[in-house]
Amino acid sequence: MPTPLPGPTVTPSHIPDLSADTAPVSRPVAAGNSRRKQTLMTLLDALSELTKDDDLAGIGSAGQQPSFEDDRDVPSVDEHLQQVGAESFNRFQRRVHNLDKELRNFSNAARQLGSSVGILSSAFHLRERLAQIAWLFRENAADLFPRKVSHQSTEPFVTPNMTHGRKRARSKAPPHVRRPLVLEKLDPEDFPSQLSLFAGDVVTFLHCLNEFPEFTDEAVNASIVAFEGDLKYWSSCLKAYEGQFRYPAVQRYLHDLLSEIGEHIESISSSLSMFVEIGVPTIRFAQKHGATNLLNLSTVATFFSAVTATTLQYSFESHGTPLEDAVNGFWFTSMVFSIAAAVNSLLGLTWKQAMYRSPGHRVPWWVLIWIKRSPLVFLVLSVACFSVGLVLFAYSSKQNSVVSTITTVFTAFSSFGLAAVSAWFASERWIFSRHKGKKWLQDSLDDLWDAMMSIPPFHQLVQCLHVVGLWTSSVSGRTVTVAKHASTTVISFFHRHSAETLHPSSSENSLPSGSSPDGVIPTSMRTRRGSDNTYTTSPLSPISVEGKDTHGSTVSFASPSEKPAGTPNSPSSPTRTRTRFAQAVRSVIMMQQASTPQAARARSVSTALLSPDGMRRKDTQQVPMRSSRVAGLVPKLRALAPTQDLAAHQALVRHLQFSPNGKFLATSSWDRTSVIFHTGDPFTHHRTLAHPSGFVSQVAWSPSGNLVLTKLTRSIKVWTEAGVCSKTIDRYRSVQSICWLPGGEAFMSVEGGDVTKLDLTGKVLDQYHFDRLMIHDVSVTPDGQRLLGVGTLLASTDGLQPSKCRAEKQIVAYNLDRKEVENQVPVLHDIRDITLARSGHFALVSYEFKAPPQLWKLEMVRDRHKPDAPTTTRLSLRHTYMPKFPVDFAGPSYFGGKDDQLVLCAAKAGDIHIWDRESGALLHHVRAQSLGGGDLTCLAWNPAADPFMFATGSHDGAVRVWTAPPSLSRGGRTPGSVTPLTDTSSQLHLEIEYRTESPSGQQVFDQVPFRGETPLPNESGEDGANPPSRRTIMFSSPQLGVHPPTPT
């Protein structure tokens, strides 16, 4: 039994028992001993549960909370993260257990097959590797979540309570069900090699599985091949982190891989289960069918040898003449071949049913031919020799000439048929081998016939025969036509005569035509379609036929209880139409109310807080925080409320950013404009930056705040604070993101796998290449020496691509002076961008979809063994900011507050989360229901505002400013409440000046009318001759559920 570790360690409820369902060797055991053993096992289980309860009580009484104020890289500090991580590992463990169970079931079923030793051996080796992989991942999870997952020694993966009982029950298990042991000492550094060996074992199992030609399962092949490709990809990628497998960052990446590996394991388990249910019986049937054929062949050969021996009794004494000697020679030869056929058939039967026989492709060809083909060949030769000897015996025994002739003729006939069929079988085999099953023997014969007919003599003969055939067919066709005409005339004559005799009043029972005035078909039965798509008949009223054309008439069926519309007893048609319309309107209104974002979110929030077992989940337990700091933060955050709504754009707001001095707010949108607002109460419009050439996806203020960059798809524009475009830099490549250098003299442009350093004139100052990495976003440290980037790995070090899993993403610390990567951290989720704190010691990483943001710390480290070694940067994960329930995050996360003490993130549904950076505690959560709207796309914090201020952008182009109201009396607001602004309460009539980088561009942009705007003609009557350079737009705060007004 494994020795329990000291300390408050809780044994998980799912111990990796990889042999719990192993079938024991059947032995005669007394019933009393079985009952006593079962009672002891139950008592041991009860004692184990009591031990677990005592350990849990000890942990609860300790009450020690870890301290997070120090600088250590804590693996996990949140109880919720501990619980989620343990659940993820337990889910993976259950999948491993299920796969091990399916492999055991497959081994038990495969023992009934011939040549099963290979598949049994490969299955057992796969189970051994699976146990080692599970042990490594368990140790990794125990290091990350020590309060939920315990370490386990390298012992058999079996429940400790069951060990002694099983050892007494049996001495040794069969080789295919023997429990796997983790005997070798494993280390986390063995992850790459173990995954590579795991891939090899999986492929070996697949090859052994495909050695059964009787059945091939494409589902098993596809799932195993995909798993093998992903295992090799992970192994190749992990080689780059040698010596870092005990770092928490790499350990978390390995833990995240559990979901990907678990999906593969679950797919293989389901496919293997189907193979056991369908494939193994099919293979067993095919092998049994082949064995039956060999057994029948052996029986026939034995019987034929007896017949030959019997006939030899009449001829073996007759010898001396050549004819008599020939008879004895053929019959002795026939008996030898028949005996050889019987013996070889039994030999082939034994070989096919042998468990330890080699697969067919590993046996020499002459052995296969002797075992598989020789019995039938020997039997055919035996029959042929016996037939020839029989004919000769008819002549040597001086039988009647008629008897000799008949014997000769029928023997020749049967021998010819036997030779023809044998030649056909051999030709089919040869054609299949030559054309790989693409052609049949008949197709090859047709091709041969066409080739022969292309020869001139045969071609002319075929043409003559064709002409004769056409003449013969034409003559026979005329004869057949005359005969048909005569027979039709005679039949019609007799038919009319019989009809007039039997039905003198046919008009009474005939169906009326479509042109009859009544249009009613009298019938007593009606055909209708039942619920099970069958047709039944029921008594109904007459069927009315509408229309005058029988081919296009419409048949309506009416039951006695139904009356057509328009009859005096039925309600009027307009009344029913109005009723149906009213019902349809009510249904549409109810559907719209049910599908509104507020109702949907209300339902989703009410159910999102429930755990999978139906119990309400407790709020995320946060670590203790310094009360003095939180006492000043929480009231300020709760006082934040939306104070201004700006209808800034006509399309989705893609990005927001306040200037470093907090005086301006720059926005970018898909309406090809970027708007600069002057902060204040209220916000006032400053400039609108037009971009007729494309969408604006990012804005970036310079550190001094006097310049702003706007990013387009393949170009970057440099604008002054006054809204003048000083430079347009065309990059001719897709630009992912832009980032200023700390001094503001240059900026970085992320272009695929390259990061280009540009000055304000567009001159390339330097370029940094990242091998096999697609960079998404970068940020430069305040000292300008290092660059932090996030990106997706395009290929592993061996050039491998993922088969089915997600590609690896990386967070990279790059030294700009030495142009080398100092540290790289793998992550699994789709990464979005990275933001540095103003101190340069922390980086905030945002992810796509539902992955929460993470805080990474930059630590400066130096090799102790090399005093002259330069200082390098190491990334360590400090916090994962978990929301109360899973949400889909929108846009990048931001630092906020004094000294970047807050972390903000917006959700697409409209929720806003604010965490404490140092402790990871969720300080404030603004629900979308309280705002009356949602669909947020981005968020930005004002670093210079006091009190707090931030802005949010939405899909409809509106920008909402959040700040604390100056007083409770002004505006009638209370902290935390939201008062919808009406159109008349905060209308901002602003005069907007549109500026572009060139006069021609300015003219083109001014000629494009706004939505709902009609271009005004000038004095000369020509449109666009003197375009206005200034326009007035009314920014108003839309009511809840109402779209912003159209600019005028």
pLDDT tens per residue, range 229-253: 999 999 999 999 988 899 988 999 9
Q: Provide mean pLDDT across the span 716-726.
A: 91
Confidence of residue 821 (pLDDT cuts 50, 70, 90): very high
Q: Which residues pair with 880 in a beta bridge?
A: 854
pLDDT at res. 869 = 78
pLDDT at 457 over 50: yes
- What is the percent of the chain with per-residue pLDDT over 90, rounded to a whole number? 31
- What is the percent of the chain with per-residue pLDDT over 70, rounded to a whole number? 67
Instruction: Render pLDDT for 352-371 as a digit per residue (tens, 0 to 9).
Output: 877 777 766 677 888 888 88
pLDDT at res. 147 = 87
913 HSE (CA, 13 A, CB side): 27
* Greater model confidence, 974 or 109: 109
Q: Which amino acid is at 340?
A: A
Q: Is-contact 366 383, C-beta < 8 A? A: no
pLDDT at res. 275 = 87
937 HSE (CA, 13 A, CB side): 19
Close Cβ partners of 148 (under 8 Å, ≥ 6 residues apart): 10, 12, 82, 83, 85, 86
Q: Provide mean pLDDT across the span 1005-1009.
A: 43
pLDDT at 1027 over 50: no
3-state secondary structure 212-246: CCCCCCHHHHHHHHHHHHHHHHHHHHHHHHCCCCC
pLDDT at 706 over 60: yes
pLDDT at 49 over 90: no
User: What kind and span of H or E run contains 44?
Assistant: helix 31-62
| N-terminal to C-terminal alpha carbon distance within the chain | 81
Q: Provide mean pLDDT across the span 792-816.
A: 92
Where do the DSSP E strands lie in 648-759?
A: 653-658, 664-669, 673-678, 684-690, 698-701, 707-711, 715-720, 725-730, 737-740, 746-751, 754-759
Q: Provide mean pLDDT across the span 799-810.
A: 91
The β-bridge relationship of strands 707-711 and 698-701 is antiparallel
Mean pLDDT across the chain: 74
Q: Which residues of 24-54 are buried (b: 16+ CB within 10 A; e: fewer)?
A: eeeeeeeeeeeeeeeeeeeebeeeeeeeeee
Instruction: Render pLDDT for 897-908 as a digit per residue (tens, 0 to 9).
Output: 888 999 999 988
Beta carbons within 10 angstroms of residue 310's beta carbon? 9
Confidence of residue 586 (pLDDT cuts 50, 70, 90): low
Confidence of residue 935 (pLDDT cuts 50, 70, 90): confident
For residues 497 and 500, give the distance between their C-alpha atoms in angstroms, rounded to a whole number.
5
Q: Provide mean pLDDT across the span 477-481.
A: 81
> Of 346-350, 387-391, 610-614, 732-736, which gets the smallest average pLDDT?
610-614
Q: Provide mean pLDDT across the span 150-157.
A: 65
* Greater model confidence, 627 or 930: 930
Q: Is-contact 832 846, C-beta < 8 A? A: yes
Q: Is the peptide bond prior to 947 cis by the omega test (within 30 degrees of 0)?
A: yes
pLDDT at res. 235 = 94
Instruction: Render pLDDT for 412-437 as a digit per residue (tens, 0 to 9).
Output: 998 888 888 888 888 887 888 788 77
Q: Is-contact 113 287, C-beta < 8 A? A: yes
Confidence of residue 988 (pLDDT cuts 50, 70, 90): very low
Beta carbons within 10 angstroms of residue 121's beta carbon? 16
* Greater model confidence, 588 or 31: 588
* Greater model confidence, 330 or 18: 330
Q: Is-contact 651 697, C-beta < 8 A? A: no
Locate 293 and state its tokens: 């054929």
Close Cβ partners of 1013 (under 8 Å, ≥ 6 residues apart): 1047, 1048
pLDDT at 467 over 50: yes
For residues 141 and 148, give the distance between their C-alpha atoms in angstroms, rounded to a whole number.
9
pTM, to two decimals? 0.64
Q: Provide mean pLDDT across the span 1000-1019.
A: 41
The dihedrals phi and psi of 286, each to the nearest 5 degrees, come to -65, -45
pLDDT at res. 863 = 75
The dihedrals phi and psi of 727, each to the nearest 5 degrees, come to -160, 140
3-state secondary structure 307-322: HHHHHHHHHCCCCCCH
Confidence of residue 316 (pLDDT cuts 50, 70, 90): confident
Q: Which residues pair with 751 in a beta bridge?
A: 754
pLDDT at res. 498 = 53
Q: Is-contact 973 979, C-beta < 8 A? A: yes
Q: Provide mean pLDDT across the span 205-216.
A: 84
Instruction: Render pLDDT for 10-34 as a digit per residue (tens, 0 to 9).
Output: 334 343 444 444 333 334 444 556 6
Confidence of residue 558 (pLDDT cuts 50, 70, 90): very low
Q: Provide mean pLDDT across the span 469-479.
A: 80
Q: Is-contact 882 79, C-beta < 8 A? A: no
> Of 80-89, 172-181, 223-232, 331-340, which gets the smallest average pLDDT?
172-181
